[in-house]
Amino acid sequence: MSFAMGLVFLISVFIPYEKTTGDMLGGAIVSLLPPQALHLPLKVGFWFLGGVAIAIPVNIVTRLILWVKRPR
């Protein structure tokens, strides 16, 4: 999980800090979000999605593999 989040943070280095989530989202999605969410830096949104979409599944898969391979 730490390795996956490290990759997320490494990729986020290349995202300009001036970009906001409102700049990157389409019109239909923007209308669903509260106004405060549109002013968040895109890096923060990327970190959140990286944690939810990458690190948590990696953690679950790793725990399943270790559970299957544990000595009995």
Contact 68, 34 (CB under 8 A): no
| pLDDT tens readout for residues 16-54 | 888 877 777 766 777 777 877 777 888 887 888 777 888
Residue 20, classed as helix, strand or coil, is strand
Task: Show me where the domains of the chain are located.
Answer: 2-68
Reported pTM = 0.55
Residues 7-13: what's their mean pLDDT?
85
Return the residue matching tokens 């986020």.
12
Residues 8 and 47 sit within 8 Å (Cβ to Cβ): yes
φ/ψ of residue 20, rounded to 5: -110, 170
Q: How much is the pLDDT for 4?
A: 77
Q: What are the distances in angstroms from CA 49 to CA 13, 30, 68?
A: 15, 17, 28
